[in-house]
Structure 1
Amino acid sequence: MITAFDHVLLAAPPGSEGRLRAFYVGVLGMTEIPKPPALAVRGGCWFGAGDVILHLGVEAGFRAPRKAHPGLRVRDIDTYAARLAGRGAPVTWDDDLPGHRRFYSEDPVGNRLEFLEPN
């Protein structure tokens, strides 16, 4: 029986770890999770916030997906959107999900991210 998500993996191009750390830690406020040594040699990085765990794995020939994305629930969505916009990340509001406020953004390598808050 499935009980929860363990993590979500997003792909990233080789050599992008520094930009990913700056964004996921510095902008989103997540904490970097050390990768086990056997996996660290593959590159990429892992991040967590509360019960949310994101893995960024290196993929040769990386192309950011246009539609696929994780949905990240936040508190105080207006402040969060202002924080991202203030640090150069795109913020595109979408009013199509009843009972929620939400916007889309991108990480530094183009991965689409959805941020939502129930209202």
Structure 2
Amino acid sequence: MTLFTLEAVDHVQLALPPGGEEAARAFYTGVLGMTEQPKPPVLAERGGCWFVEGSVELHLGVEPAFRPARKAHPGLRVVGLDALATRLAAAGAPVTRDDTVPGRRRFHTEDPFGNRLEFLEKDHPGHESLRTCGGR
């Protein structure tokens, strides 16, 4: 018998290189439409930035020996997957489609630092396939 319950994911932490905060803001607020959330003062000294949209919270922390996450990634559910793919492609971000998971339409992209991000939407019968959407 367990004495605890995992309730939800509070946030996902991604790394960014030193000095990458402005590029992160441009991508996460400007392209993805998230809102920057002020970090607590004790953590703000470390650099990085936090972003939120609805129940999704992404923290980007400075990692001096930065290497992008190319395999590990957050999988973010969205409504309006095609519109997001088009927006990302227009911003110059790669859009790699992958329709291999039954019942879900999805694609992968990268943030400005090369961190992998997955966006997915439940497939609806009769909905145009993501394969016909713009983007790279």
Shorter-normalised TM range? over 0.9
SS in 2 for 1:84: helix
Matching residue of 1:13: 17
Q: What is the TM-score with the length of structure 2 in the denominator? A: 0.86
Identity %: 67
SS in 1 for 2:88: helix
Deviation, 1:66, is 1.7
- What do residues 24-78 of structure 1 show as CA deviations (whole Å, max 9, x unaligned)? 0000000000001110000000000100000000001101122000001111111
Distance 1:2 1:55 in 2: 20
Matching residue of 1:33: 37
Matching residue of 2:126: none
Q: Within the alignment, does 1:96 sit opposite 2:96 as a pair?
A: no
Distance 2:103 2:62 in 1: 36
SS in 2 for 1:32: strand
**RMSD of aligned C-alpha atoms?**
0.6
Which structure shows the bigger proportion of residues in strand conformation? 1
Matching residue of 1:116: 120
Distance 1:105 1:66 in 2: 10
Distance 2:48 2:41 in 1: 12
Q: Within the alignment, does 1:2 sit opposite 2:6 as a pair?
A: yes
Query: What is the letter of the counterpart of residue 47 of structure 1?
Result: F
Matching residue of 2:130: none
Consecutive unaligned residues of structure 1, counting only runs of 5 or more, are none
Consecutive unaligned residues of structure 2, counting only runs of 5 or more, are 124-136
Distance 1:36 1:66 in 2: 29
